[in-house]
Amino acid sequence: MSKILVTGADGFIGSHLTEELVRQGHSVRAFAYYNSFNTWGWLDTLSSEIMQEVEVFTGDIRDPHGVKESMKGMDEVYHLAALIAIPFSYHSPDTYVDTNIKGTLNVLQAARELDTSRLLVTSTSEVYGTAQYVPIDESHPYQGQSPYSATKIGADRLAESFYRSFNMPITIVRPFNTYGPRQSARAVIPTIITQLLAGKEEIKLGSLTPTRDFNYVKDTANGFIEIAKKQHTIGEEINIATQQEISIGQLAEELIKQINPNAKIISDEQRLRPEKSEVNRLLGANKKIMKLTDWKPNYTFEEGLAETIEFFKKNLDQYKIDIYNI
């Protein structure tokens, strides 16, 4: 089995990916963000059976020296570390350039110098912006509709340039909207669920009309693993998508029905994106990943939501329900 480094392993998708890689028998080094509290994010919640098989490396993705040190001896690198909250990118874009672009450059440079055998760079469906056609395939134009998406476009194109310039074994992995246990409350599904579970009668949301293609997090993690297994995915950009969409309003109504039928939705102005920044429709094509790999979604949307609700019921005290998380 491979020796694999996961950057951003302390985060939402990264922790699930770390967990699944260990279950499949890989030797995993988890890159977690250094802090003086010695906390490892969501890795701290994984079972002792999983964590005794994980080597934790703390550092900062913006530091090229630490990044290179973490990658030494690794066969494969799954690069997930990033700043991802769109509202925060409106007022702190410098941090997104440093983390998402410079951080990716650090990984690319180290992989080149260390001759890493496989590198997966994580993109996002936000690089496409509002759909110009659907389903959105990998040839869809890029649109920088937020500083976040602009930095992810930049990171993707850097990765492409290293593949083309230095013949490096790079794949750009592009998940559509991932949801599930451990997700930040800044995302829409946890925002709705946590307010409902806290007994709120008025659920505060931004725009209700945009549509999203939601991936359950375990399916997203499995997508990374399946992509890494195939040599013919090198040099490709690959969506992970269900090819199904639901509006935010429909999503909220379904969750209200399941948790608290008496709740009502109200519009919260601070949660609205600027008009030209709002991504109104995301519906991803999954033809390419289905053709190039053995991946397919294992969870229905209903199954994924049920597991997500159950997680938040048990972990509600870890979320600050009464503030708007950006």
Bridge-based pairing of strands 76-79 and 3-7 is: parallel
**Average pLDDT, rounded, for the chain:** 96
| Integer Cα distance of 106 and 213 in angstroms | 31
Q: Is residue 211 part of a domain?
A: no
Q: Is residue 61 part of a domain?
A: yes
Q: Is residue 71 part of a domain?
A: yes
Q: For residue 164, give every residue at least 6 positions away whose Cβ sits within 8 Å of its Cβ, in sequence order, or none.
A: none
What local confidence, expressed as pLDDT, does residue 270 receive?
76
CA distances to 142, 193, 262, 264, 269 from 257, in Å: 36, 11, 8, 11, 24
**Amino acid at residue number 38:** N
Q: What is the mean pLDDT of residues 245-249?
A: 96
Q: Is residue 159 part of a domain?
A: yes
| pLDDT class of 322 with cuts at 50, 70, 90 | confident
What local confidence, expressed as pLDDT, does residue 272 receive?
77
| Integer Cα distance of 223 and 60 in angstroms | 26
Q: Is residue 27 part of a domain?
A: yes
Q: Is residue 278 part of a domain?
A: no
CATH of the domain at 161: 3.40.50.720
**pTM score, two decimals?**
0.96
Number of domains in the chain: 1
Q: Is residue 209 part of a domain?
A: no
**SS3 at position 7:** strand
The DSSP string of 263-310 is -EEEE-GGGPPPTTT---B--B--HHHHHHSS----S-HHHHHHHHHH
Between 64-71 and 103-114, two packed helices, what is the crossing angle to 10 degrees? 40
pLDDT tens digits, one per residue of 99-144: 999 999 999 999 999 999 999 999 999 999 999 999 999 999 999 9
**What is the radius of gyration, based on Cα positions, of the chain?**
19
Q: Is residue 263 part of a domain?
A: no
| pLDDT class of 50 with cuts at 50, 70, 90 | very high
What local confidence, expressed as pLDDT, does residue 271 receive?
78
Q: Which of 159, 172, 170, 65 is nearest to 110 (CA)?
A: 65
Is the pLDDT score of 199 beyond 90? Answer: yes
Give exposure, 117-138, as e/b (b: 16+ Cβ within 10 Å): ebbbbbbbbbbbbebeebbbbb
Q: What is the mean pLDDT of residues 283-294?
A: 98
Note down the domain range covering 129: 3-183+216-243+284-299
To which H or E segment does residue 215 belong?
strand 215-216
- For residue 291, what are its two tokens? 């053709």
Q: For residue 294, give every residue at least 6 positions away whose Cβ sits within 8 Å of its Cβ, in sequence order, or none.
A: 226, 229
**Amino acid at residue number 199:** G
What local confidence, expressed as pLDDT, does residue 269 receive?
76
What local confidence, expressed as pLDDT, does residue 206 receive?
85
